[in-house]
A and B are shown apart, each in its own frame.
Chain A
């Protein structure tokens, strides 16, 4: 009659299986297409921008290099400028006087496609999520629109960059911070993106830099 009851599917969404070469189509990402590197954290996590586990507003990176911290940073850019170093997985908020607040980020494939200067054109709290068509193709079970909220992959806050599809946003998967992930742009833990949101004004400059590639 019906197809057999389907069982045994693991419900855990953490697809931390490492997939190499995912970035080989993206510009400026040859370094990440090479495998295996001795540095596990530089590997690409094959993790979809799924409506994953709930991550609340309180989640910040609590220790290690991706914890939000004040660092020395020489820059001729004015205070309030955001500088993103994609290959290092850091976002710097320039404070002036040779210092910056550094946040750990996760960088998706989209985050490696573009470098240059944009401005924050809009900010939103608990933004809605519209998965791009490629993601729908990979994950056809996703809703085409998801109203903002704690399970939403966009997380607690979003900063929209220029007229591009790129965003600095939160995440419901804080374990992806410090990694290259297979989708999304620049993601911070929700508590950290809330902190950034409170410090960044619409109109702020955002400079995105990749490491040189062969």
Chain B
């Protein structure tokens, strides 16, 4: 077990190391363009659930709708963003929507779109927003998030 764990830690560290180096390389080419959606559309109270396998998607969306007793509350930030969390961090940050040249929309810090700490918006409507972490390792752990707006 121990060596197994060590191995994992080594992998994880390598992975994290890989991320940060990618980030500096990518920093120049990716240019933010206007996002496809208005960031204010995220403000409000949401039921949040996640899934990994497509067969769980409908069920997960239904579960998200039942989570409004413990809603995830998104407020407007001091600048032009919204106050939300990033993965594995209990602190609130101001995040915003960013468009990328390949037509994707990301939610994250004021960094080039597709930054490892970003989320990619998969679909966006007034009632349901679907997103996933851009970092594949984080995505593998958390799965795809479905936000359903609480009444």
- Interface residues of chain A, those whose CB is within 8 Å of chain B, are 1-7, 9-14, 50-54, 59, 61-64, 66, 128, 133, 136, 138-141, 143-151, 174-175, 177, 189
Flag if A9 contacts B89 (CB, 8 Å).
Answer: yes
| 11 pairs of residues in contact across A and B, judged by CB atoms under 8 Å | A53-B8, A133-B70, A140-B90, A141-B87, A143-B143, A144-B70, A146-B50, A147-B143, A151-B140, A174-B4, A175-B1
Q: Which of B23, B60, B86, B110 contacts A2 (CB 8 A)?
A: B110
**How long is the Cα–Cα vector from A13 to B77 in the complex, in angstroms?**
27
Q: Which of B1, B12, B141 contacts A177 (CB 8 A)?
A: B1
* B9 sits at the interface (CB 8 A): yes
- A contact residues around B47 at 8 Å (CB): 144
Given contacts A1-B79, A2-B94, A3-B94, contact A147 B5 (CB under 8 A): no
Flag if B52 contacts A3 (CB, 8 Å).
Answer: no
- B contact residues around A64 at 8 Å (CB): 1-2
- A contact residues around B15 at 8 Å (CB): 11
Question: Could you mark each residue 33-77 of chain B with 1 if its beta carbon is under 8 Å from any beta carbon of chain A, else 0?
Answer: 000000000000001111111001001100110110010100001
With most chain B CB atoms within 10 A of its CB, the pick from A9, A63, A145 is A145
* B96 sits at the interface (CB 8 A): yes
**How long is the Cα–Cα vector from A148 to B111 in the complex, in angstroms?**
33
Flag if A5 contacts B85 (CB, 8 Å).
Answer: no
B83-102 residues at the A interface, CB under 8 angstroms: 85-90, 93-94, 96
**How long is the Cα–Cα vector from A143 to B49 in the complex, in angstroms?**
5
Flag if A51 contacts B142 (CB, 8 Å).
Answer: yes
- Interface residues of chain B, those whose CB is within 8 Å of chain A, are 1-2, 4-5, 8-9, 12-13, 15-16, 19-20, 23, 47-53, 56, 59-60, 63-64, 66-67, 70, 72, 77, 79-81, 85-90, 93-94, 96, 109-111, 115, 117, 135, 137-138, 140-143, 145
With most chain A CB atoms within 10 A of its CB, the pick from B12, B23, B141, B142 is B141
Please name the residue on chain B nearest to A131 by beta carbon: B70
- B contact residues around A51 at 8 Å (CB): 141-143
Given contacts A54-B141, A141-B87, A146-B51, contact A6 B117 (CB under 8 A): yes
**How long is the Cα–Cα vector from A5 to B86 in the complex, in angstroms?**
12
Flag if A174 contacts B5 (CB, 8 Å).
Answer: yes
Q: Which of B1, B16, B23 contacts A10 (CB 8 A)?
A: B16
Q: Which of A12, A133, A145, A177 contacts B64 (CB 8 A)?
A: A145
**How long is the Cα–Cα vector from A133 to B49 in the complex, in angstroms?**
14
Flag if B90 contacts A54 (CB, 8 Å).
Answer: no
Q: Which of A3, A136, A151 contacts B79 (CB 8 A)?
A: A3
**How long is the Cα–Cα vector from A145 to B70 in the complex, in angstroms?**
11
Flag if A50 contacts B88 (CB, 8 Å).
Answer: yes
Flag if A145 contacts B1 (CB, 8 Å).
Answer: no
The 5 closest A-B pairs by CB, nearest first: A2-B110, A141-B85, A145-B49, A147-B56, A144-B67
- B contact residues around A9 at 8 Å (CB): 86, 88-89, 117
